[in-house]
Structure 1
Amino acid sequence: MSSPPAPPGSERRRVLRQQRRRERLRNLWRLVVLLSLSCGLGYGLLRQGWVLTGPDQVEVVGSQQVGPEQVVQAAQITFPQPLLGLQPRRIAEAIAGALPVEQVQVSRLMAPPRLRVELIDRQAVARAQRRTPQGIETGYVDRLGHWMSSRQGQGVAAKASSNLTVVGWQPHYRPALALVLEQRERLGTDLSQIRFEPGGSLWLQSTRLGQVRLGPADGQLARRLEVLSHLQQELPARVKGRRLQSIDLSDPEQPELGLPTPAAPPVAAR
């Protein structure tokens, strides 16, 4: 018994289905080949093209004190080094902790492959001392009150003020120190010492005003500095040429002035 004839057009549909399957297979193979070529090319670029081979591919911008060799040493970069294997954030933190820079930004550039390091130098504005378990350590501070070791201060020491010293520096005093340094011009160019006592009391020393007690480095410090700036302008006329010995601004609303005791008049001989 013969099979019934196929519906009209069924053979054509079967052929079209086979053609579509073959076309999908060809497209799949093309995709596999392209992916393989792309992966191979990418691997080759990573291994051969995007590799730092020496410090000459480290570009330092914005600093007059720090060069590529110092950056490489501070960040402990070894060569050859795959560019994409470097971590900009870690490198920036290492540079900021080891070199006298205020800001660091690190970028990886592909064409040509290089590491770009943008820096803003820290400027030492005063010499400084701090107490450590090993004894008194000397160094410098920048305008924001950050400590700079003698090693970090190499090359910027000449720019540090020779007549201003910060004594008793500690990390928790940094905001207060930054505020005083910011107001330094208003406090007079004869400011010679900023001192933090072990108990936390802040003192200034200047030729014109003598010893100035600013009290604790708390929220009233800005007000005390404002009163001190006002006294700078008003006191010369009030003390009539006498040299101040001290000013106590622990209570900024009631400053206490220490003036030398006038000399007793000579006793007339009888």
Structure 2
Amino acid sequence: MSATPLQPGSERRRQLRQQRRRERLRNLWRFLVLLALAGGLGYGLLRQGWVLTGPDQVEVVGSQQVGTDQVVQAVRLTFPQPLLGLHPKRIADVLAGALPVEQVRVSRLMAPPRLRVELVDRQAVARAQRRTAKGSEQGYVDRFGHWMSIGQGQGAAAKASSGLLVLGWQARYRPALALVLEQRGRIGGDITQIRFEPDSSLWLQSKRLGKVRLGPADAQLGRRLEVLRHLQQELPAKVKGRQLQSIDLSDPEQPELGLPSTPGQAAASREP
């Protein structure tokens, strides 16, 4: 019994199916070859192309005080170093705590491979002194009240206010100090001293107002500074040229003024 010959249309469809099958196989092989090439190229870039081979690939911008060597030392960066193995956020956190800077931004750049570190320097605004286990330590503070050692403040020391001194600095007083520094221009630019006592009392020394007791560095400090701003404007007309000796704002609702005695008052006080 002989096989029934295929119709011309059926033979043509069979050939087309085979042709499409062969074309799919060729496309699959092309894809696999391209995938292997891309994987090899990517592996090569990761192993050889995107690698920091030395400090010259660490780019530090924006700072007049901090250089590449200080950044590399602070991060403890070793070379060669795969660029994609570095974590910009972690590096920024380390640098913010180790260097005299206000802001840090770290980014990885691929072409050419390098680590870019953008810094904003701290500016010392006052000389400062604090007590440590080894005794008294001299330094500086920035506008946010952060302590700056002599070494950290060397580049910014010339910009520190030579007429302002902060005594008794402690980390727990930093928010209060930052608030006073922020308000300094409003409460009188003639403040020469900001002092924290061991009992947490905060004092100011002003050429115009004398000694100003602001009381404890607590939540009412903002209110006390507001009252001091008001007194700064109103007192000159009331004291009629008499030099104030002190102001006590421990209770901001009842300020106490220390005025020198007039000649008549002094004579009366001596009478029996």
TM-score (structure 1 length as normaliser): 0.88
Letter in 1 for 2:173: Y
Task: State the AA in 1 paired with 2:59.
Answer: E
Tell me the equivalent position of 2:267. 265
Summarize deviations over 1:149-208 as a string: whole Å, max 9, x none: 233223222322222222232333222211110111223233122122333322211222
Distance 2:240 2:41 in 1: 84
Q: Which residue of 2 aligns with 1:123?
A: 123
Q: Which residue of 2 aligns with 1:231?
A: 231
Q: Is 1:105 aligned to residue 105 of structure 2?
A: yes
CA apart distance, 1:8: 6.2
1:147 Cα deviation (Å)?
Answer: 1.9
1:31-110 alignment, distance < 5 Å: 31-110=31-110
Q: How does 1:1-270 map to 2 (within 5 A)?
A: 1-3=1-3, 6=6, 9-263=9-263, 264-265=266-267
- Aligned pairs, how many? 267
TM-score, L = length of structure 2: 0.88
Q: Letter of the 2:123 partner, please give it.
A: Q
Q: Tell me the secondary structure at the aligned position of residue 214 of structure 2.
A: strand
2-structure distance, mates of 1:172, 1:26:
72
Return the alpha-carbon distance in structure 1 between the equivalents of residues 136 and 10 of structure 2. 98
The SS at the match of 1:218 is coil
How far does residue 134 in structure 1 lie from its aligned partner after superposition?
Answer: 4.6
More helix by share: 2
- 1:107 Cα offset (Å): 1.2
Shift of 1:7: 6.3
Q: CA deviation at 1:3?
A: 5.0
Deviations 1:76-108 (A, max 9, x none): 111222222221111111211111110011111
User: Partner amino acid for 1:106?
Assistant: V
Q: Distance in 2 between matches of 1:266 and 1:232?
A: 30
- Asked if the contact 2:139/2:148 (under 8 Å) is kept, the reply is yes
Shift in Å at residue 20 of structure 1?
A: 2.1
Question: Following TM superposition, by how much is the alpha carbon of 1:248 offset from its aligned partner in structure 2, in angstroms?
Answer: 0.9
Contact 2:202/2:217 (<8 A) preserved: yes
Return 6-15 or 137-146, whichever deviates more: 6-15
Specify the code of the residue in structure 2 equivalent to 1:12: R
Which consecutive residues of structure 2, in runs of 5 or more, have no partner in the other structure?
Answer: none
Q: Which moved more, 1:28-37 or 1:208-217?
A: 208-217
3-state SS of paired residue (2:163): coil
CA separation in 2, counterparts of 1:68 and 1:215? Answer: 45
Deviation at 1:38, TM superposition (A): 1.0
How many percent of aligned residue pairs carry the same amino acid? 79
Partner letter of residue 124 of structure 1? A
Whole-Å Cα distance in 1 between the matches of residues 62 and 91 of structure 2? 17
CA apart distance, 1:133: 4.5
Rounded Cα–Cα distance in structure 2 between residues aligned with 1:139 and 1:236:
35
- d(CA) in 1 for partners of 2:268 and 2:180? 44
For structure 1, the residue ranges without an aligned partner over 5 or more in a row are: none
